[in-house]
């Protein structure tokens, strides 16, 4: 049995223990072989670590011997805790690079990355200072640089695209907070919130996980299984964050730290409140938070295709989120890629022409003279953006 961070999971691993959500309900049973979709479900439930069956020597030897015979065999080999090295996976990464490389080689992206790195480390320094020295939390100062980053990246679609491609580089807590801040700003714009509210949403994103810095390091890095008390401790990070920010910042920022793990249908934590009892800024932060976790690159692939992310949200149902916010968010994510080229799962290449309001993950794609409505072709999906 080996404890593995959700970030390091890859398809083919076998669960060695039930995966529970924060309400201690079983989401996946022990013995389940993980797939990309199941890994996303684990992330969606905010689970940080799971237990995976370890490879014994005999199994490793068999795996070694079978290398090169069949990609399928290697990926699905039981009890593997090493990333699959199949040709199939290398191909997947190369294919993925087509779209990503185009963006990453642009001067705009290089500039964005440079600014982003600098701003994120500055943010880390300022935040640590606020906690260690208990100095005043001046959100205006915190917001200055991320706002410049937003204005220099042009349109909201551009910001989203840049962020999506940053995912290969950095997935640290501070980068996560910066991403949620930028996503909140863009998402608030899509909802036509005022400039003041957009900036407030950005501050909510920047500080939403500040309580994590107070979760005991020993618990976060404990090699063995967490007991109930320890589990509850991690679950307290929204409360730690709230206490840290109380009376030092705007009430919506305090509430976003406290309520970003609450869910619209009452299945969240720590207060288990539902609907509009959850602060509207926290309802928005919850979406950006989950979206950022889901689009993270994994060791076996690049960032998920945005249409795949939309599909995962659709499969899970929208009950957990404010329906107006989630529909606005996902349709705008989809719209970012209308007119983009893509490759379908049957190998055909085409252009995304328009979204389907009923099924945002399945737009209409033009291949040559043919218009393919993916909502009517359940056997087809967008594999990658080109």
If we measure between CA atoms, which residue out of 135, 212, 169, 161 comes closest to residue 339?
A: 161
Q: How many CB atoms lie within 10 A of CB 177?
A: 23
Minimum distance, C-beta of residue 381 to Fe ion, in the bound complex (Å)? 28
Minimum distance, C-beta of residue 260 to Fe ion, in the bound complex (Å)? 6
Minimum distance, C-beta of residue 77 to Fe ion, in the bound complex (Å)? 33
Question: Contact 361/375 with Cβ under 8 angstroms?
Answer: no
Place of tokens 């957009």: 198
The alpha helices in the chain, defined as continuous H runs, are 36-44, 57-66, 71-76, 87-104, 107-132, 139-152, 156-166, 173-190, 195-207, 217-220, 228-234, 237-245, 251-259, 280-294, 306-316, 323-336
> If binding means CB under 5 A, how many residues of this protein chain bind Fe ion?
2
Q: Which is nearer to Fe ion, 100 or 206 (CB)?
A: 206
Minimum distance, C-beta of residue 258 to Fe ion, in the bound complex (Å)? 10
25, containing H or E segment = none
Q: Which is nearer to Fe ion, 209 or 279 (CB)?
A: 209
Q: How many residues does the chain have?
A: 386
Minimum distance, C-beta of residue 27 to Fe ion, in the bound complex (Å)? 18
Q: Which is nearer to Fe ion, 182 or 355 (CB)?
A: 182
How close are the terminal C-alpha atoms of the chain, in Å?
Answer: 40
Q: Which stretch binds Fe ion (CB under 5 A): 113-121, 223-231, 244-252, 288-296?
A: 288-296
Minimum distance, C-beta of residue 323 to Fe ion, in the bound complex (Å)? 21
262 binds Fe ion (CB under 5 A): no
Report CA 325 to chain centroid distance, whole Å.
Answer: 17
Question: Contact 295/165 with Cβ under 8 angstroms?
Answer: no
Q: Which is nearer to Fe ion, 262 or 289 (CB)?
A: 289
Q: Which of residues 185-214 bind Fe ion (CB under 5 A)?
A: 209
Q: Which is nearer to Fe ion, 321 or 337 (CB)?
A: 321
Minimum distance, C-beta of residue 236 to Fe ion, in the bound complex (Å)? 11
Q: Which stretch binds Fe ion (CB under 5 A): 24-32, 194-202, 287-295, 316-324?
A: 287-295
Q: Which one among 49, 197, 289, 322 touches Fe ion, defined by CB under 5 A?
A: 289
Q: Which is nearer to Fe ion, 197 or 209 (CB)?
A: 209
Q: Which of residues 147-176 bind Fe ion (CB under 5 A)?
A: none
Q: Which is nearer to Fe ion, 118 or 173 (CB)?
A: 173
- Give 272's DSSP letter: -
Place of tokens 């840290």: 244
Site of interaction with Fe ion (CB under 5 A): 209, 289
């Amino acid at each position: 049995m080996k404890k593995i961070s959700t970030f390091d999971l890859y398809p083919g691993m076998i669960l060695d223990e039930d995966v529970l959500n924060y309400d201690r309900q079983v989401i996946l049973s022990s013995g389940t072989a993980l797939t990309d979709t199941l890994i996303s479900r684990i992330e969606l439930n905010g689970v940080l670590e799971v237990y995976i069956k370890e490879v014994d020597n005999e199994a490793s030897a068999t795996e070694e011997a079978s290398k090169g015979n069949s990609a399928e065999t290697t990926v699905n080999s039981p009890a593997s805790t090493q990333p699959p090295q199949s040709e199939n996976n290398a191909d997947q990464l190369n294919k993925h690079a087509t779209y990503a490389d185009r963006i990453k080689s642009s001067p705009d992206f290089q500039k964005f990355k440079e600014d982003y790195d600098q701003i994120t480390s500055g943010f880390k320094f300022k935040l640590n200072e606020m906690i260690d020295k208990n100095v005043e939390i001046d959100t205006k100062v915190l917001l200055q640089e991320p706002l410049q980053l937003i204005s220099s990246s042009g349109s909201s679609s551009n910001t989203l695209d840049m962020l999506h491609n940053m995912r290969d580089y950095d997935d640290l807590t501070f980068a996560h907070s910066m991403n949620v801040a930028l996503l909140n700003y863009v998402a608030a714009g899509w909802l036509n919130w005022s400039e003041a509210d957009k900036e407030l949403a950005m501050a909510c994103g920047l500080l939403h996980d500040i309580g994590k810095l107070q979760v005991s390091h020993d618990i976060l890095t404990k090699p063995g299984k967490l007991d109930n008390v320890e589990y509850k401790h991690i679950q307290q990070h929204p409360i730690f964050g709230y206490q840290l920010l109380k009376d030092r910042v705007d009430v919506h920022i305090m509430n976003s730290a406290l309520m970003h793990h609450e869910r619209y249908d009452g299945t969240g934590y720590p207060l288990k409140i539902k609907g509009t009892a959850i602060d509207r800024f926290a309802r928005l932060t919850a979406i950006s938070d989950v979206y950022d976790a889901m689009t993270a690159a994994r060791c076996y692939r690049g960032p998920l295709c945005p249409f795949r992310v939309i599909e995962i949200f659709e499969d899970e149902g929208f009950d957990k989120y404010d329906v107006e916010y989630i529909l606005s968010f996902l349709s705008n994510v989809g719209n970012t890629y209308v007119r983009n080229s893509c490759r379908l799962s049957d190998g055909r290449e085409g252009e995304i022409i328009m979204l389907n309001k009923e099924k945002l993950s399945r737009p209409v794609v033009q291949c040559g003279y043919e218009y393919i409505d993916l909502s009517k072709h359940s056997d087809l999906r967008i594999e990658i953006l080109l």
